[in-house]
Amino acid sequence: MENRRQFLKKSLVTCAAATLPACTKETAAINQKNLKTTDPQKALVLWYSQTGHTERYGKIIAHALKKAQILADASDIREFDIKKIDQYDLIIAGTPVHYYDVPKNFKDWIQCLKRIDGTAVAAYSTFGGPGDNQMNTACTLVELLREKGGIPIGFEMFGNMSTFAPTWSVGNEKRILKYRHLPDKNTYNKVRTFAQQVIENTRTGKRVLPDKEFAMAEAWKLLPIVWGTKLAIGKHTINQDKCIGCGTCVEKCPVWAIILEDFSINTKRCIACMGCVNNCPEGAIEMTFMGSKVIGFYDFMENNNIKIPEPEFS
């Protein structure tokens, strides 16, 4: 665990974080090069996932690629060696919508990649409940890869139950439970259809240059909404008596804000992703939001007898 995280940390430290342009009509003409191949032999499915939804969809896509006789590697970005990124003919990336956008840590990760000129690229976003700005988030992720030289050949959005713990913790369970049935078989079939379309577009050389839809969330992204969430967070600590030292919170934190050696959390570095409180198996991450105790995702599911159906692989 430590070696992997130290490697990633060193890689990111050497790169300057930047806000890259999103998909627009004005930039759609850039990188109009040919695909390096329309017969992909080796594909990569990457995701950033906190509670498993984005990872689950990525594994379905990887399985579909393998069924199409394409060698496919699948990985969370935190476990992938960025030096190998140019070894693939096709790259598909997935992200949850994080405050109406691609998470900053994912943007920074892509910024650190070397060029992937001519590589077919596609993206998908995952969103909770009715969603907000999921199309533009997928579009932005495609654009980030295109700025590295990738050729866009697809994008899609997949819904599931929200995992934003403060929502149910402050008494808005109904908003979450309305979508307790997601993801379902229809969701998984939509993922498989997307994978097949990506394969077809790659083999036919079809480009897909998404343009952003009009959405108020694009304006909201300009506001310090992460800061606003952090302002509403009161307590955010590690209970040493409950902690078993498993390191799950460290693994899930995308910005290295948790230091188990002294049971501390760097709240200034925190991006309020809720990964630590959602995934701690012992409830040792203690957080309050607007004065209410925050209940983690898996505890919330258990309290409401919710089980996510796993996709079938055949």
State pLDDT tens for residues 11-57.
Answer: 443 343 333 333 433 333 334 468 999 999 999 999 999 999 999 99
pLDDT < 70 positions in the chain: 1-33
Q: What are the residue ranges spanned by the domains of the chain?
A: 2-25+34-163+171-214, 225-303
Confidence (pTM): 0.89
CA neighbor of 22 nearest in space, from 189, 156, 188, 211? 211
Cα–Cα distance, 167 to 174 (Å, whole number): 10
> What integer pLDDT is reported at residue 217 of this predicted model?
83
> Which class in CATH covers the domain with range 2-25+34-163+171-214?
alpha beta
* Distance, CA of 24 to CA of 213 (rounded, Å): 10
In this predicted structure, what is the pLDDT of residue 4?
Answer: 41
**How many Å apart are CA 69 and CA 73, to the nearest integer?**
13
> In the Cβ-directed half-sphere of 155, how many Cα atoms lie within 13 Å?
26
Q: What's the pLDDT score for residue 216?
A: 83
Query: Which CATH code fits 225-303?
Result: 3.30.70.20
- Residue 73 φ/ψ, nearest 5 degrees: -100, 145
